């Protein structure tokens, strides 16, 4: 399974994973089938990676302080030389970087030149606009969404009220309730406000022994573990839609409404008691939904390229873990050793797409990186935008569907020279171009490809905001598709409809007479758009068997 492993400067004396993150992502992409896997009985079942038949080469480029550019670029060079087929990179910046200053964008371009697709996590900077940090069009950028399995940890109050919290808690109190303490009752050296937040070193071990602490911030769970409390009930100000592994105390995190209810119970009860139950799995009815931590568009570096590209499972993911790494998000207070762990992040969604890409490549070994990426994008199913306010800026084209991606019908192919041409249209000079591409690359003379016309599977354009609350817009795109379905086929176009816009496609019928034949079409969308807003539309080519969908996103430049 693991056929190679390398390590780099300041990452330790061996390639062994001491953090757990790399083992988890690698096994998510290509782990073998393993029965009866669980985290102390939680989420029990059979674990397997996206492509269990694939092999793994690991490149350890990070240490607890970060991942250096030198190590990242060296790993790209080694992976290319080693002959890898796919790069899965669950690493990224906390904010978008210019492409010439982004080592992953630079390394990924050189991988693309060698026919290697690079998949990268979109980032965990939250649901604010413009936070996506994986922005290069030659990278496959992945957001994170929920699955139909959720994990909850119930909190039972002494008055019989039961509240559903979010945590992965392996500690069972066996039906016993413990005294609930809060604020000035837990600290001698901190003021009441600091004590309520359970700030570092505030809790006194003798005051919390045998008790469950109420903490007004999620980080208080770690402080409760340090002080030796039986458990903690915290306000979930961290990521309220996701359960994370907590230290080995009985802990759960509640939303603001439920936390306020516990505060009221505490203040109105003479001897308040509470029990935190062990975690259990539930059915997520509203799923998939983009996780709150997942970084969103628009793309602030290249505004006419939609990012992220797709979404995939990235919350409460069970996968293999390094037994020498503490399993919880408060590692200082957790000395447990586990073979499997439950993690969340776009780091977890990225290897799902890497595995799906490997699956497509195994059936189409001659396809280019852009063809594989296109196949997974155009066959993805659109998410419910009512659950995600930023729609395509949250989930890209939608949620991957690997089974459909192996037979997409049509693909949008892009060459590395197309990317260079596009960057030149953005004002990149020869010096900047060489920082990314190396060698003696220069901008071509003549017409250059604007980003909106890059042969990308999605279509996106930023338009100026007018003087009024609603202004008119018009955007046009040019695309070329390659036939990889039936040799003789006819595709007809269907577009979304709305009173806010109209779409025309020319031609509206594409007739193919051979495999790998190419056809070009133009799309025009016009309408009205509100200030600080977006228009979400789509087009779909269909021959009755294949449905090739592309989102069309127009948004104001002040969004």
Return the domain boundaries, the chain.
Answer: 2-147+287-405, 149-283, 410-414+455-556
Residues 383 and 367: their CA atoms lie apart, in Å, by 27
Phi first, then psi: give them for residue 448, nearest 5 degrees: -115, 155
pLDDT of residue 468: 64
Contact present, 308 and 396 (Cβ < 8 Å): yes
Q: Lowest-confidence range among 181-185, 201-205, 221-225?
A: 181-185
pLDDT at 399 over 80: yes
Q: What is the pLDDT of residue 501?
A: 96
What value does the CA radius of gyration of the chain take, rounded to a whole number of Å?
Answer: 25
Say yes or no to pLDDT of 469 above 80: no
Reference 63, options 14, 101, 133; nearest CA is 14
Q: 233 has which bridge partners?
A: 214, 252
Determine the CATH number of domain 149-283. Answer: 3.50.30.30
Place of tokens 């030389």: 81
**Summary mean pLDDT of the chain:** 95
Same fold: 149-283 with 410-414+455-556? no
Q: Which two tokens stand for residue 190?
A: 């901190």
pLDDT digits (tens, 9 = 90+) for 413-451: 999 889 989 999 998 888 888 888 887 778 877 778 899
> Residue 286: what are its φ and ψ, rounded to 5°?
-90, 90
For 246-276, write each residue's pLDDT tens digit.
999 999 999 999 999 999 999 999 999 999 9
| pLDDT at position 467 | 66
Comparing 287-291, 314-318, 429-433, which segment has the lowest mean pLDDT? 429-433
Is the Cβ–Cβ distance between 94 and 125 less than 8 Å? yes
Q: Is 320 left (phi over 0), alpha (psi -120 to 50) or beta?
A: beta
The bridge status of strand 139-145 relative to strand 149-157 is: unpaired
pLDDT, mean of residues 85-95 = 95
CATH architecture designation of domain 410-414+455-556: Sandwich (2.60)
Q: CB–CB of 59/9 below 8 Å? A: no
Class for domain 2-147+287-405, per CATH? Answer: alpha beta
Q: How far apart are CA 145 and CA 396, in angstroms?
A: 12
Which residues are bridge partners to 536 per DSSP?
Answer: 553
Distance CA 38, CA 185 (A): 37
Report the C-alpha dihedral over residues 99, 105, 111, 115, rounded to 10 degrees.
-80
pLDDT band at 530 (very low <50, low <70, confident <90, very high): confident
Q: How large is the average pLDDT for residues 31-51?
A: 96
What residues are paired with 463 via a beta bridge? 556
CA 476 to chain centre: 30
């Amino acid at each position: 399974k693991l056929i190679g492993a390398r390590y780099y400067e300041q990452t330790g004396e061996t390639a062994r994973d001491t953090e757990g993150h790399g083992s988890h992502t690698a096994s998510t992409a290509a782990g073998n089938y393993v029965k009866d896997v669980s985290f102390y009985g939680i989420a029990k079942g059979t674990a397997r990676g996206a492509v269990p038949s694939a092999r793994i080469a690991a490149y350890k480029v990070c240490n607890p302080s970060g991942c250096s550019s030198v190590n990242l670029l060296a790993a790209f060079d080694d992976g290319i030389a080693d002959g890898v087929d796919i790069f899965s990179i669950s690493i990224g910046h906390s904010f978008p970087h210019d492409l010439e200053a982004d080592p992953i964008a630079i390394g990924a371009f050189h991988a693309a030149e060698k026919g290697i697709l690079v998949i990268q996590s979109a980032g965990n900077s939250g649901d604010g606009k413009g936070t996506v940090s994986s922005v290069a069009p030659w990278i496959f950028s992945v957001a994170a969404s929920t699955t139909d399995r959720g994990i909850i940890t119930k909190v039972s109050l002494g008055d019989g009220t039961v509240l559903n919290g979010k945590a992965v808690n392996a500690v069972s109190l066996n039906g016993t309730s413990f005294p609930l303490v809060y604020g000035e009752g837990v600290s001698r050296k901190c003021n009441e406000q600091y004590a309520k937040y359970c700030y570092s070193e505030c809790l006194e071990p003798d005051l919390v022994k045998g008790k469950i602490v109420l903490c007004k911030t999620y980080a208080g769970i770690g402080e409760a573990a340090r002080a030796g409390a039986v458990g903690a009930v915290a306000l979930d100000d961290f990521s309220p839609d996701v359960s994370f592994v907590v230290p080995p105390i009985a802990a759960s995190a509640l939303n603001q409404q439920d936390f306020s209810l516990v505060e009221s119970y505490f203040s109105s009860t003479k001897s308040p008691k509470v029990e935190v139950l062990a975690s259990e799995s539930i059915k997520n009815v509203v799923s998939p939904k983009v996780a709150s931590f997942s970084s969103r568009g628009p793309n602030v570096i290249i505004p006419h390229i939609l990012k992220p590209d797709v979404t995939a499972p990235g919350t409460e993911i069970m996968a293999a873990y390094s037994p020498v790494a503490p399993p919880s998000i408060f590692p200082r207070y957790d000395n447990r050793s586990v073979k499997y762990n439950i993690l969340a992040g776009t780091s977890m969604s990225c290897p799902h797409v890497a595995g799906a890409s490997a699956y497509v490549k195994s059936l189409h070994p001659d396809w280019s990186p852009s063809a594989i990426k296109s196949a997974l994008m155009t066959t993805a199913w659109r998410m419910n935008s009512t659950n995600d306010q930023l729609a395509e800026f949250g989930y890209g084209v939608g949620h991957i569907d690997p089974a459909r991606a192996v037979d997409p019908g049509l693909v949008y192919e892009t060459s590395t020279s197309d990317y260079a041409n596009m960057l030149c249209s953005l004002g990149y000079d020869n010096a900047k171009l060489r920082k990314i591409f190396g060698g003696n690359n220069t901008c071509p003379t003549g017409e250059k490809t604007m980003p909106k016309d890059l042969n990308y599977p999605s279509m996106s354009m930023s338009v100026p905001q007018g003087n009024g609350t609603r202004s008119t817009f018009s955007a046009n795109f040019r695309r070329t598709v390659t036939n990889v379905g039936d040799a003789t086929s006819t595709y007809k176009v269907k577009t979304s409809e709305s009173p806010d816009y109209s779409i025309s496609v020319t031609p509206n019928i594409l007739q193919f007479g051979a495999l790998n034949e190419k056809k070009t079409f133009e799309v025009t969308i016009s309408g009205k758009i509100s200030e600080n807003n977006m228009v979400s539309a789509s087009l779909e080519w269909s021959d009755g068997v294949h449905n090739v969908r592309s989102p069309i996103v127009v948004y104001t430049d002040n969004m």
